[in-house]
Chains A and B, each alone.
Chain A
Amino acid sequence: MSPTDPTDPTDSTDRDAASAPGALLRVRGLRKSFGPNQVLQSVDLAVGRGHVLALIGPSGSGKTTILRCLNGLELADGGTIDVAAEVSLDFGTPPSKKQLAALRDRSAMVFQHYNLFPHKTVLENVLEGPVVVQRRPKAEVEAEALALLDRVGLSAKKDSYPFELSGGQQQRVGIVRALALRPQLLLFDEPTSSLDPELVGDILRLIKELAVEGWSMVIVTHELEFAREVATEVAFVDGGRIVEHGDPKQMLRNPKEERTRQFLHRLLFPF
């Protein structure tokens, strides 16, 4: 189990890969408004192959909206999104359904509230995309899905319904559902923030393993320690802009911008 296009993880020390021409994901000038409320001002970001971008920032700053635009769940008003050499969208003119579907095909999202299909079993949740949508052979996909479920310790639950699982188990199914789609890019939206504290570690460890294996990902998180250890790059989002981005070890300890400093301080000393 590795991304369709695995890269040599040894080059992960190359911090400039994200801005190099070969970046997997490149976003420029992304804008999005809801009515009069301009939620994304002009977002630029890039993710290299096998890299992990952590998005941090205050509530309402637009982090979820960025992920939703990347997955085509939200239609940006302007700007461009390029994924590898295959997808290149300019939102200056509304993209066609086909272009949007192509964008969506490249990435898979893990939701804050899991969003598993409650009327389908664990295994059916995982198979739905690859078998029904991607039309891959069922036997092959099922073997792969069972291996993934086994890996996250849930093979015994394959015939259970989501309501029979704990939050941590549901989120692991959510991650397996995303992996089974064989995306080039994994998107995580606060994957641990609806979990009981003692379950958070399991999920973060799993995500870290995926990062080490070379999956490319964008992850919205408030877990600074996790970002420091796992992310290749961290970006601070505020008021619909990337205010500051850089190496997680440096930026989280010694941010340049005052707003970043304030945010990190609040996160470390909530009261």
Chain B
Amino acid sequence: MNQSAWELFWTSLGPIVHGAIAGTIPLALASFAIGITLALGLALMRLSRRRWVSGIARVYISIVRGTPLLVQLFVIFYGLPSLGILIDPWPSAVVAFSLNVGGYAAEVIRAAILSVPKGQWEAAYMIGMSHRRALTRIILPQAARVSVPPLSNTFISLVKDTSLASLILVTELFREAQQVAAFSQEFMLLYLEAALVYWVICLGLSSIQSVLEKRLDRYVAH
């Protein structure tokens, strides 16, 4: 790489990292928090004995998983205005990503709840717990342990998927890179630079993931 390429690399790192810190990361965090809450509700609905309750959750999950995220994003940002519903880019992105995470994480959480041995429910009932209390104090803590690895992967995917928000004009990592690229005409350099920053973020997240798994492992034999 020549001198000016290096210079461009360093000067563009500023806006790109700013895009990550002010756009990508908060977008991912907010969507993940809302999405997981939604997912827990959907997972419990899926496990409900009432047919229609689990049916609603099943249909929702099927739609979210059976349609492209980009299309979901466009429906909310470009589609809803024709029904008179105008949402700004940022909230549109949060809504779309949350709904999406909700659908995917629901199946993870449902599987984790089902993976807790039946004997745990029975011991909880035996000591006099109600269904709700058994769920919150005995089952969910154990399910949480099981779902950390898959949910971490969901989060890492989400971080990368937020690059799609650049298409609805959200100022985030990739959109910053695109703008510098358009201005400087150095497409290869800027897109590789964006890729590098995503990669570094994901490496960081992976190491947080393994620390988290070790801590949650403390009550499990190996």
Contacts and interface: CB of A to CB of B under 8 A. Distances in A.
Are A and B interaction partners?
A: yes
Interface of A: 68, 71-73, 101, 104-105, 108-109, 111, 113, 115-120, 128-129, 132-134, 161-164, 177, 181
Point out which of A134, A163, A164 has the most chain B C-beta atoms below 10 A from its C-beta. A163
Given A118-B142, A119-B145, A132-B133, A163 B126 contact: no
B219 interface: yes
B128 A115 contact: no
B141 interface: yes
B126 A132 contact: no
Nearest to A160: B219
A118 B123 contact: no
Contact of B126 (A73, A118, A119, A134): A73
B195 interface: no
B125 interface: yes
A129 B128 contact: yes
Contacts of B120: 115, 117
B1 interface: no
A134 B142 contact: no
B220 interface: yes
Contact of B137 (A128, A161, A162): A128
Contacts of B221: 163-164
Contacts of B119: 111, 113, 115
A117 B142 CA distance: 9
B218 interface: yes
A115 B124 CA distance: 9
Interface in B135-149: 137-138, 141-142, 145
